[in-house]
Structure formats: structure tokens, C-alpha cells
Amino acid sequence: MGTALPRGLEWGGDGAGGAQPLQEPYSRGRREPCIWGAPKALGGNRVGGGFPVLLEEAHVPLFLRGEEPPALPEHPGAELVGLPRMDPADPMRPIGHHMMPAPSLPRGGPRLGLKTGSRSRRAGAMGVRMGVLGWLVASALCAAVQGRDQGLSRPLPHFGSIYHVRGVINLPYAEIEEPFEAWYNLTGNKSRIQYYGGQVITYQLAGVKPYGMQYKITPETTEKEVNARKCFQLPGSKEDVVRIQSVFPSLEGFKFLREEYYQGRYCAVWQNVTLWAQKKNVYTLWVTNSSCGVAPVHYEMRGYNSLLGSHYDKYEISYTDFDNSFPSSVFDIPVNETKKCGLLPGSTAEHRVLANPMEDLVGRQQPRAHEVFHHYRRRFGRRYGSARELEHRQHVFVHNMRFVHSKNRAALSYTLALNHLADRTPQELAALRGRRRSGAPNHGLPFPSQLYADLHLPESLDWRLYGAVTPVKDQAVCGSCWSFATTGAMEGALFLKTGVLTPLSQQVLIDCSWGFGNQACDGGEEWRAYEWVMKHGGIASTESYGPYLGQNGYCHCNQSELVAPLAGYVNVEPGSATALKAALVKHGPVAVNIDASHKSFAFYANGVYEEPRCGNETSELDHAVLAVGYGVLHGKSYWLIKNSWSTYWGNDGYILMAMKDNNCGVATAASFPVLA
């Protein structure tokens, strides 16, 4: 290239000459290039040697405005070191460098910079040539790059009044990663956010008279149709006007914190710290430069509660594909869908969260989720002993609510709902799963598969329809699921023998079978309960022994009338769906064990439950339940399972569990009693 070295610059290394303009297009059409450099061989070995930067007044603002310089063709990976920092007492005397990392370039490459030290006089002379004003402008702009370290403020990032962006919501406490895509038009008073690739779409139309309108389009599966697109609407009111929804937080109160590399991109970090009651919330936003100006990279909220002494909340949003244009048609709602719009399900307090879930994450006001919590407390009569426990339960509820709503937006083969367990911690939920995994072999009889080879298996079976199943009960805060599975199987066997449905006592097994390895509310196994019944010649009915306590009690079986003596019990062939079907058809309800450790199980509502993370090995089974039938729903084969978590749980206390691949281990460890 024939361009001369700009006036006022010279090489900082030991070599001389050979200067070349490295990136002429970056000068935005000006004749002078903004960045100059020379082959590495011409510079010294020291960092910054031989790579000057043009500091002319007209060009400095172009670089510091936040633009990313393109990759340098002569030296890929080059990095700008900085501009001279001037002595405040003597603007003509350089005393160091303002560091100015190049956002788009990796560390470790050649570096561009201006020499100081032994060349300070030349730098000073350069300042004279540029003029005092030029140096002051350069120094001030460099100080702005350093931000608060220089005591100067930056303008808050602005993402524009119209934008489109994709991203992922990460809720670590709720075990959720949810992709979304958003369109925002401030001037048009419209926004649209869709989740899981458009499976669920929400619209916020603030311009609809009189108070705005929200729409939600979602797939819905019932007994009659599968994944039918349904529309729900929620009109605003005078007290609750609909507003458009951004996927970025309001930046009011944010302050510039620092610059750093984040996920391989050079970012400015902004942060807001708020204190509310005993809560300290820290909101952090990472932004970088793009062809559109400033672009979002990542947003994080961390909440600390001094009353609880722990972190009560955390969520993150990662952003990609940000731009400032899109067709206006993205806000068009299909006419045939809006004509069929119904009201949103759930409580009134829950409606706003369902219609606009993003509001709970990027808004810094008291979340609407807390309103849902207060409705939950009234519905289930929840009362807590202290302000500390109230805070704790509210935080647990919010995480569970986010999990439930996010899973439902994923359009799975089943749906979840907030039930009476919604304020329970994972540890408390684990206490309900009382199957002890001792690994000890039992003395059950092998399943006689050959006897059932010619057995006709109906397409579906439901023993409830024949009167062989007692009503769903609630084991309460007690790991006694094994006792309910045992009595359920025995009640069915006794019904098939006598034609009379007799409720049997779980409490007698809790109180009296310790000698066989069961540990009451701390867990047990149904085969150990069978062994106790075999030795004692039967089991007490609920009527003769007394009500279920949900707690360990004193054994008084000698004072009770025993029924249903056992000759033995049979272990169904492990992993065989055919064998389990045959056992159900011939012997009635069967005690089974499952992996119920996943949060999706705790909040199951309806549909065929299929959890890909479920285990089906014997060592992974942690909950005992009762299989009372099987069938097919929308092409998915299922087991009909009775749980013991009350009728508030599941579908009136029942769940349909997928047969596919022995999901959750329903067929792994099943057994049924044989009456004497």
C-alpha cells in the first residue's frame, strides 16, 4: 500500500518503516484509515512494539462509540492495547495507558498500541501536533471505556423500540431450560413471545380498547382430540391494564460495573442491586456491540434472603439472534382461532402468569406468582408458624409454579398442575417415597408364565369398574406408601374371592411389621408386609384396627379381627409387560414399584406420563403404588396406577404411566398376594 504514515505517529519498536493501513473500510468512507500497523518483523519483541494507532481527533470517537473493528487482514487476532493516559496536572505528559480491549478479537494475538516510557517525549510531541483538545478528547473517551474507575458514567444500553430476539430461559431451582422467541413493537403497542419453538404463543396487544387484550395459543389434548390448537384470551381491566411485554429488564437503576469477556464475547456488564424487606436482589446484564448498535448477551437474577439465610431465587436468560426488524405480520392472530377463544384455566390469580410468563422473570415488581401463592394458601388452608416459614414456603411455591407452567408449555403427552404439594421442598417430597431399597431377596413364588401362555388379554382393563378398588387415600407426611400398595393388592384379591370390598388397615402394618424389616413411616417393602401377614394369619380391617394416623403407632393387632390369610405371594416376571397384564387379568390389582423421584411426577395432572429421565432398574425404584389396570390413550399404551397422595394429586389420585420401554420401572418389581 502506498499510504503514508500519519503525521504524529512513529514506530514504538526497534524497527522502522513499512507502516501500512490495516483496515481502511473502518474509517466509514473517510480517506484516512483509522488503524495502522506494520509487519511483525519490523517491530520489537516487546508487547506493543511496532504497531501504532492513529489518534487523530476525528477518528477516536468512531472507535470508542462501541463499534467492533473487523478482523485485521495483516495480523489476524490483533488486539488494541490502548491510548496514552495523560497526567491530570499536565495534559501534555503521558503517564500510562487506558486499556481498550477489542471486543471481537481473541487474546494472545499481536497487539496494537502506542509506546510510552523511553518514547514519552515523542508521545508528547505527538500530543503537540494533535493539539491539546485532541488529547483531551482522546483521554476523556478512553476514560469512558474504563467506566466507573475513572468516575465517568455511561448511557444506559437501549435495545430499540422495535426488536426481535431468541433466547433460553434457565431456571436452575425448577430444573427448566426453556427456549423462546420474542417480537416487540413499542410504537405499535404490541408484543409476542412464543415458547418451545412456537408450541405455545402469547400475544400482548395493549392497543385493543378499552384496556388491552392478551391471547394464548396452545396445544390441547383431551379424550377426543390430540394436540388441537386452542386459543385463550384474557382482557385487561381498569385495575389491570394490559401492557406489552419486553424480554429485557427495565434498566432503571442499573449501573455500569465493568467490562469482561463472557461466553467468548467482550461485554459491558450492568448491574442493579435492590433491597426489599429481608431480600437482596442482584440483577446483572451483559451487553455487547453489534451491527445494530448494542445487543443483549445474558441476564441473571440472584436473590438472597437474610431472613432465611440462603439464596431463594435464581434465573438466567441467554439471548441470541438479536435484530431490529421483522415483518408486521408476526402479530397477526389467525381469525379462526380468535373466534374460538375461551377463558384461561386455573384460578383468577394464575391467569396473568399463564398468559404472560415472561413478566414474572424480567419484572422487578412484586411478582404475580406471589398472588397465586396467596390463592393457593386459601385453597388448601395453609398456615405457617412464622414469617420465616412463610417466606420459605413462598419461594418453594414460586419455583414449583414456574416448573409446572414451563412443562405445560412444552406440549408433552401429559400435563401438570399445582396441587397440595406445591409448597413442599424436594426433601419433603422424597419423604413421601417410602420404598426401602434394601436389595434383600424375598421369598416370593416365581411367576408361572407357562400357565398364561393361552390367556386372552383384553385391550384394556380397569378394576375400578368392577368394584375391586377402595377409594384413594392420603398417606400424609409419612413414608408408608409400601403399606398402601400391600393393602391395595390384598383388597383386590379378597374382593375376587368373596365379592365383598373390605378396606384393610395400613396402620397395622406400620405399627406391627418392624420385625420383618419395615420401618413404619421411614419406609418399607410390600413383600416384608406379606411375610408378616402370612405369619400372623391375616391382616386387620380398617374398621377393626382403627383409622390411619399418618404416623407411627403402638401395635394392637391382637385386639383386632384378622382377615385375608395368605398362602404366599408371587413375583411377576421382571420387565415383562405381558406378564404384568396377565397378573392383572387373573389376580386383580398388583403392587408395583416405580421411580417417582422426578418433579414432573409430583405435579402430574392428566395424560400419559412418560418421563425420559426415569429409571427402571430395581435400585432406582423409590415409591410403591398399585396397578389397577391398563389401556391405550391416543396411541400410547399405559398402566393405570393408584397412588396414595390423596385425590388432590394426579387425576383424582390416579396416573396413567407409559408402558413404553418400561418407563419408570412399573414392570420391574411387581407382586401380588395369594390368599389361603
Contact (CB, 8 A) for 174 and 313? no
Residue 643 among the catalytic residues: yes
- Dig out the grid coordinates for 414 from the structure: 401429559
Buried b (16+ CB within 10 A) or exposed e, 498-521: eeeebebbbbbbbbbbeebbbbbb
Secondary structure in 3-state letters for 501-562: CCCECHHHHHHHCHHHCCCHHHCECHHHHHHHHHHHCCEEEHHHHCCCCCCCCCCCHHHCCE
Under 8 Å CB-to-CB from 7, ≥6 apart: which residues?
129
Contact (CB, 8 A) for 6 and 54? yes
Residue 370 among the catalytic residues: no
| Residue in the block written with cell 503537540 | 128
Under 8 Å CB-to-CB from 292, ≥6 apart: which residues?
160, 322, 323, 324
DSSP type of residue 70: P
Helix (H) or strand (E) holding 404: helix 387-409
> Among 142, 267, 478, 481, which one carries the catalytic annotation?
481
Q: How far apart are CA 365 and CA 605, in angstroms?
A: 31
> Among 289, 392, 623, 664, which one carries the catalytic annotation?
623
> Among 272, 305, 616, 643, which one carries the catalytic annotation?
643
Q: In terms of C-beta density within 10 A (0-12 exposed, 13-18 middle, 19 or more buried), how is residue 544 classed?
A: middle
> Is residue 234 classed as helix, strand or coil in its secondary structure?
strand
How far does Cα 205 stand from its chain's mean position?
A: 27
Contact (CB, 8 A) for 628 and 652? no
**Before 101, cis peptide (omega within 30)?**
no
Give which of 569, 509, 499 is closest to 539, Cα–Cα.
509
Catalytic positions, written as ranges: 481, 623, 643
